[in-house]
Structures are given as C-alpha cells and as structure tokens.
Amino acid sequence: MLVDSHCHLNFEQLSSQLDDVVRRAELAGVGHMLTIGTKLREFEAVRSIAETYSNIHCSVGIHPHEAEVEGADVTVEKLVSLADHPRVVGIGETGLDYFYEHAPRDVQKRSFRIHIEAARKTGLPLIVHTRNADQDTIDILTEEYKKGPFKGLIHCFSSGWEVAEKSMEIGFSISISGIVTFKAADELRDHVRRIPLDRLLVETDSPYLAPVPNRGKTNEPSFVAHTAARVADLKDVSADEVAEVTTRNFFTLFDKIRRED
C-alpha cells in the first residue's frame, strides 16, 4: 500500500471528479490520502471530504500565500479548536514562501509560529511548506523547538540540504513529491539518496507537479506511485519496500489515524 501524504482534493481540478480520483488511487495501490487545509474559509469543504471517504483524513491550516488575507482569523486557539475532530490529523500547511511573496515576510513568520504552537498544543504533526526561505525556516523551527518539542515534516521537499539536515535533527520527516522525477532535479535526487528511508514520505501535492511520465497533466493521488518508484530507484531498493516503509512512516507520524481506517 502507498499513501499520498499531501494532496488538495478540494481544489476544483480534483473535486469535480472526486469519486473517480479516489477510485483511480485505490486501483493504483494508494490506500490512504491526506487532503490539506490551506485556507480557514475553505476548511469545511476539506473536512467534508475526509468525512465522506474512510481512507482520507485532513489537516487544518493557512498556506503562507494566504497569511495576509486570513491573518486576522488565525489564532492558536482557533486552530486547536478546529483540530479537535476525528478526521483532522495535522496542522498546516504553513511555513514560508519567499518565491512568490504573496504575503509580507513578517506576516508569514507570525502565522508560521502560531501554527507551530498549535501543533505543540495538539500533539499533531506540523506540515511545513518552505520555498526560497531556507535560513528563516531553519531558524524558526530551531528556535521554536527549544521552547518545547513538536513533530512534523517538510512537505514537497526541494530545498537545500541544510533544511533536511536541521529538520531531521529535531525529528522531522521529509516528504518527496513528483519533482524528484523532473529532468532538472539532480540536486534533489542527490538529497534523496542521503535521506534515510525511515524519514521519507511520498506525496503528490496534487493537482500540481505531476510526475514523469504524466508531466503536463492534472496531478492526482494515483500518480504517487511514479514518485515512489523513482525514490526506490534512487535508494536502490524495491518499490514494495518503499511502499511499505513510507506507509509505516506516515502512520507513525500521523498517529491520530488508526491504521485500520
């Protein structure tokens, strides 16, 4: 069994054909999916998907792109309250994005720290988005961890090695997306070779970043099998072993989910 540890099933490209998307995932051996919250105003739609399908859970959070628009609404207490639901198993996605900078950096940092405190209070994993913000991401995670432990992962990892190294030092996992199959992703492939298999998860980040051989198509959870196969090749192990270990890693990290779910 494979797990797509990060997808956006409420986005129109997938929600408009959700039954078929879920069916194709199951046929591809994807036994579980985590659909991710990016806006509080859309959280009910995200949670509804997780309530509808037994093999889907969800997270609650505000993407850094939305930090300014939804900044007045995000508090630790609100996140903790929304996370108090059996289908909500993670906090985020949150973090820093200095590539697009749709929100001011100070606003992104404030939101990031609020999500970290919510993860600390709930005990749920923190789902971190970081792009072109390596040092600030490292600094905030390190500073906050000294205040009290929390668990989490770097999603859609494509950063420098230091982000992987420092996040693993505080116990984080690293999630690999279809980027690892892209022609220009040699540096990422080198990093994947170095990351211990017991720290890896796989994801689609669908509907974006469709892996080879589906580049240019709308990404969906069934395509995570291609990412897992590339990881297996890089780690010189079988695809079955990658499926087994990354699935175990997922359920170990997201331990609010009962494996039989």
Residue 259 has what pLDDT? 78
Q: What is the mean pLDDT of the chain?
A: 97
Within a domain: 14: yes
Residue 188 has what pLDDT? 98
Within a domain: 259: no
Residue 244: other Cβ atoms inside 10 A: 14
Query: Looking at the predicted structure, is the pLDDT value of residue 18 above 80?
Result: yes
Within a domain: 84: yes
Q: What phi, psi does 254 have (nearest 5°)?
A: -90, 65
Q: Which one, of 180, 204, 208, 209, lies nearest residue 192 by Cα? A: 180
Tally of domains within the chain: 1
Q: How do residues 184-230 score in pLDDT, each as one tens digit?
A: 999 999 999 999 999 999 999 999 999 999 999 999 999 999 999 99
CATH number at 16 reads: 3.20.20.140
Residue 112: other Cβ atoms inside 10 A: 26
Residue 71 has what pLDDT? 78
- Residue 73 pLDDT level (bands cut at 50, 70, 90): confident
Range of the domain at 33: 2-253
Residue 34 neighbours by CB under 8 Å, 6+ apart: 3, 4, 5, 6, 7, 56, 57, 58, 59, 89, 90, 250, 254
Query: Looking at the predicted structure, is the pLDDT value of residue 260 above 80?
Result: no
- Residue 113 pLDDT level (bands cut at 50, 70, 90): very high
pTM for the whole structure: 0.97
Q: How do residues 148-193 score in pLDDT, each as one tens digit?
A: 999 999 999 999 999 999 999 999 999 999 999 999 999 999 999 9
Within a domain: 39: yes
Within a domain: 65: yes
Within a domain: 188: yes
Within a domain: 258: no
Residue 261 has what pLDDT? 47
Within a domain: 73: yes
Residue 64 has what pLDDT? 97
